[in-house]
């Protein structure tokens, strides 16, 4: 378990780095723009909430940078993220709690679906080297990967919502209905999720196809795969249980490393579709100069990415016996 | 013995590469056309892109092949003139990212030990912090990011992937005989790194430059699209911003929003195709299989 312990300490270091960056960015900006935000608050917020904001943005405090830093760390770790300007008087954490389920389900499902299907397609393409799949997929997805995510969203809105009218235009559900736990509402939510989810899927799947294909090509050349072929094993068994299992390992690491890029794209997809998730909220917070909400969302997205990376580390440990060996 | 001029040799090699590899050929052709447009925008653009003098919301006509904007500007001229900023972002960010990646990745591998541990940890941390939210947070305080601020944040967030790749490759050649020989001759570290280590890594370095340039084009256009760039400059990203703000898609001006996206995709494809071509050079196993017809042997 030495491997997992090392990965866990990396998680903690990265988390600390993100918190520190989050603390120093507003302080490094010329003329602390958070001052304007604080002015809107005076006399409207209870003193302790205001103080938490002052600590977070380095306004009006007579304490040293170091003690402000540690107080900020304490506030953040206990979930005291301040008050939102744009959703006043709600606290930042309660505002985020509303948006989080939308993003987790949309981005989470689309990303996992993209990874699983992309990896499978890449493995098959490499197995049938020179076949139709292998000739068409890589060049097609090289070109698709060069399209901006948000533009693919714009294109599909124009094509499928405005021109053909197949899908609803914007949002996460029909605005005239109230969110309830009913089948009709669930269907409405699914209906609204089809276009944004497909946009994330199409733009992210190419990377997984290409990397899996390339890993698989070098694994297939190994002797043990030739041996499996010579033994007359079924191709399905060789692809998934012999070659695929080993080729998947670098792809899993790659998944962890490029998750940040996928999340970045998902933010824009939410923005284009006005999807009520974390990414849309982040850009709205920017527009309304709600800096407390903005910084909290940045942290939240970072934590989500770091946790996903740690989960993929656990999966690697399960799939790769070498990581479990005592060395 | 025949002496080949090294410059001439390099040129013929490049020429062979672009003509024999299909991906490289298409990529370099696209890049060349876009570079020409970058250099001489006034030659290609029929009108002043900022002039609001035409019928607004006009469809496709011979005089406006991509229609006009809601303000009565020519869309085609805007796409042409906007090429320059995206190209500059791509080249400048690509260059600085590559320099940082090489310096950090290669020195981590060369010096090893504690230096490697610290530099690798730093690289990995920068790599996992989601870049786009970070860029948004930084530029949000500035309101409208100038060209150089955009370059700065993109370089800050874009070097880590390349550094990681270059470190791995540098590690693999660190203990080769030619490097040990150079060290035994008593050459300085800088000499060994620059003269002995970097040349064998050229194709990966070029691939990294192209990857960083692609990242810069996409991230910069996204930043401008959400209104965090300077909205008064001429670029593909700001075109998309104005088109979106005027609901170009819903009000019958789809080309205003679609054309700059296609332009971004053309530049992006050029960079991505060249990137994969360089990958194929570095790793011959990835090259497309050339199918030869085999005659069926009849027993």
Domain locations in chain A as residue ranges: 18-77, 100-326
Distance separating alpha carbons of residues A144 and A156, to the nearest angstrom:
14
Closest residue on chain A to B226 (Cα): A283
pLDDT of residue B5: 65
Residue A6, token pair as written in the block: 């090392």
**Residue A21 bridge partners (DSSP):** none
Instruction: Give Cβ neighbours of residue B25 (< 8 Å, ≥ 6 apart).
Output: B18, B19
> In angstroms, what separates the C-alpha of B190 from chain A's closest C-alpha?
30
Q: B104 to each of B99, B117, B160, B164, B215, how far by Cα in Å?
A: 9, 12, 9, 9, 19
Give the rounded percent of residues in chain B with a pLDDT score beyond 70.
82
The predicted model gives A159-180 an average pLDDT of 70
Q: What is the pLDDT of residues B27-44, one digit of tens each?
A: 888 888 888 878 877 777
Select the residue from A264, A270, A271, A304 to test the B interface by mutation, using most B Cβ atoms within 10 A: A264
Torsion, CA B223, CA B228, CA B234, CA B235, rounded to 10:
0
Of A12-16, A23-27, A106-110, A273-277, highest mean pLDDT: A12-16
> In angstroms, what separates the C-alpha of B232 from chain A's closest C-alpha?
18
Q: Are A147 and A235 in contact (CB under 8 A)?
A: no
Whose structure tokens read 């890594």? B201
Select the residue from B132, B255, B274, B289 to test the A interface by mutation, using most A Cβ atoms within 10 A: B132
pLDDT of residue B92: 94
pLDDT of residue B104: 92
Interchain contact B26–A (C-beta under 8 A) = no
Chain A residues whose CB is inside 8 A of the B257 CB are: 154, 158
The predicted model gives B160-183 an average pLDDT of 85
Residue B291, token pair as written in the block: 């199918």
DSSP assignments along B19-57, one per residue:
HH-HHHHHHHHHHHHHHHHHH-HHHH-SS-TT---SPTT
Domain ranges of chain B: 4-42+72-286
Closest residue on chain A to B125 (Cα): A14
Chain B residues whose CB is inside 8 A of the A295 CB are: 137
Nearest CB among A145, A264, A297 relative to B132 is that of A264
Chain B residues whose CB is inside 8 A of the A33 CB are: 141
Q: Are A147 and B261 in contact (CB under 8 A)?
A: yes
| Residue B208: how many other CB atoms lie within 10 Å | 25
Q: Are A196 and A275 in contact (CB under 8 A)?
A: yes
Interchain contact B255–A (C-beta under 8 A) = no
User: CATH topology for A100-326?
Assistant: MetI-like fold (1.10.3720)
User: 265-284 in B: which are within 8 Å (CB) of A?
Assistant: 265, 267-269, 271-273, 276, 279, 283
The predicted model gives A178-207 an average pLDDT of 77
Give the rounded percent of residues in chain A with a pLDDT score beyond 70.
84
Q: Are B227 and B215 in contact (CB under 8 A)?
A: no
Q: Between chains, do B291 and A264 touch, taking CB under 8 Å as contact?
A: no
Q: Is the peptide bond before B47 cis (omega within 30 degrees of 0)?
A: no
| Residue B122: how many other CB atoms lie within 10 Å | 16
Q: How confident is the model at residue A37 (pLDDT cuts 50, 70, 90)?
A: low
> In angstroms, what separates the C-alpha of B67 from chain A's closest C-alpha?
17
Chain A residues whose CB is inside 8 A of the B137 CB are: 22, 25, 294-295, 298
| Interface predicted TM-score (ipTM) | 0.82
pLDDT of residue A206: 83
Q: How confident is the model at residue A185 (pLDDT cuts 50, 70, 90)?
A: low
Distance separating alpha carbons of residues A106 and A200, to the nearest angstrom:
9
pLDDT of residue A177: 65
Whose structure tokens read 């990377």? A207
The answer on pLDDT for A57 being more than 90 is no
The predicted model gives A167-171 an average pLDDT of 70
Q: Between chains, do A257 and B225 touch, taking CB under 8 Å as contact?
A: no
Q: What CATH number was assigned to the domain covering residues B4-42+72-286?
A: 1.10.3720.10
Distance separating alpha carbons of residues A140 and B273, to the nearest angstrom:
10
Higher pLDDT, B163 or B69: B163
pTM: 0.83
User: 75-104 in B: which are within 8 Å (CB) of A?
Assistant: none
Q: Between chains, do B132 and A130 touch, taking CB under 8 Å as contact?
A: no
Residue A199, token pair as written in the block: 């946009």
Listed residue (B77, B71, B90, B66) closest to B272, CA to CA: B90
What value does the mean pLDDT of chain A take? 80
Element holding A190 (H helix, E strand): helix A183-220
Q: A115 to each of A242, A254, B33, B204, how far by Cα in Å?
A: 20, 11, 35, 25
Q: Between chains, do A268 and B222 touch, taking CB under 8 Å as contact?
A: yes
The predicted model gives A160-176 an average pLDDT of 71
């Amino acid at each position: 378990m030495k491997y997992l312990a090392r990965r866990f300490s990396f998680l903690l270091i990265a988390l600390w780095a993100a918190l520190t960056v989050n603390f120093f960015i507003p302080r490094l900006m010329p003329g602390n723009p958070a001052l304007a935000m604080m002015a809107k608050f005076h006399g409207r917020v209870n003193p302790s909430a205001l103080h938490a904001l002052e600590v977070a943005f380095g306004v009006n405090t007579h304490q040293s940078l170091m003690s402000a830093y540690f107080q900020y760390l304490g506030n953040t770790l206990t979930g005291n993220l301040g008050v939102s300007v744009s959703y006043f008087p709600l606290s930042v954490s309660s505002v985020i709690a509303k948006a989080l389920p939308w993003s987790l389900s949309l981005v989470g499902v689309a990303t996992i679906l993209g990874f699983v299907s992309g990896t499978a397609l890449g493995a098959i393409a490499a197995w049938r080297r020179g076949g139709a799949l292998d000739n068409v997929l890589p060049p097609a997805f090289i070109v698709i990967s060069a399209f901006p995510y948000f533009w693919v969203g714009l294109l599909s809105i124009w094509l499928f919502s405005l021109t053909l009218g197949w899908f609803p235009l914007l949002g996460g559900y029909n605005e005239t209905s109230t969110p309830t736990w009913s089948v009709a509402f669930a269907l409405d939510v699914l209906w609204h999720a089809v276009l944004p989810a497909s946009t994330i899927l199409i733009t992210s799947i190419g990377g997984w196809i290409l990397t899996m294909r390339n890993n698989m090509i070098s694994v297939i050349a190994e002797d043990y795969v030739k041996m499996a072929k010579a033994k007359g094993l079924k191709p399905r068994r060789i692809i998934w249980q012999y070659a695929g299992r080993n080729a998947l390992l670098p792809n899993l690491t790659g998944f962890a490393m490029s998750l940040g890029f996928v999340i970045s794209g998902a933010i824009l997809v939410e923005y284009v579709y006005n999807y009520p998730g974390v990414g849309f909220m982040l850009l709205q917070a920017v527009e309304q100069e709600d800096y407390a909400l903005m910084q909290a969302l940045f942290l939240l997205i970072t934590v989500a990415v770091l946790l996903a990376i740690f989960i993929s580390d656990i999966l690697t440990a399960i799939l790769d016996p070498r990581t479990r060996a005592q060395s | 013995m025949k002496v080949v001029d090294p410059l001439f040799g390099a040129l013929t090699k490049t020429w062979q590469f672009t003509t024999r590899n299909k991906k490289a050929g298409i990529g370099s052709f696209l890049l060349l056309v876009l570079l020409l447009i970058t250099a001489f925008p006034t030659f290609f653009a029929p009108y002043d892109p900022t002039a609001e003098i035409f019928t607004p919301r006009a469809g496709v006509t011979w005089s406006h092949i991509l229609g006009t904007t809601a303000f009565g500007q020519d869309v085609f001229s805007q796409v042409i003139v906007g090429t320059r900023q995206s190209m500059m972002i791509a080249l400048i960010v690509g260059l600085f990212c590559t320099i940082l990646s090489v310096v950090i990745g290669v020195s981590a591998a060369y010096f090893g030990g504690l230096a490697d541990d610290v530099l690798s940890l730093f690289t990995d941390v920068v790599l996992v912090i989601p870049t786009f939210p970070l860029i948004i947070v930084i530029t949000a305080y500035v309101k409208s990011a100038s060209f150089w601020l955009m370059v700065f944040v993109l370089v800050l967030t874009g070097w880590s992937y390349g550094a990681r790749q270059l470190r791995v490759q540098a590690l693999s050649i660190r203990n080769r005989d030619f490097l040990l020989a150079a060290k035994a001759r008593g050459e300085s570290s800088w000499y060994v790194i620059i003269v002995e280590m970097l040349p064998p890594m050229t194709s990966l370095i070029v691939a990294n430059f192209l990857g960083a340039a692609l990242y810069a084009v996409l991230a910069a256009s996204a930043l401008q699209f959400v209104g965090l760039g300077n909205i008064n400059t001429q670029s593909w990203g700001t075109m998309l911003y104005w088109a979106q703000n005027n609901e170009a898609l819903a009000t019958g001006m789809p080309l205003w929003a679609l054309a700059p996206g296609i332009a971004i995709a053309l530049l992006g494809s050029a960079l991505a195709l060249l990137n994969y071509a360089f990958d194929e050079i570095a790793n011959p196993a990835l090259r497309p299989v050339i199918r030869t017809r085999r005659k069926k042997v009849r027993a």
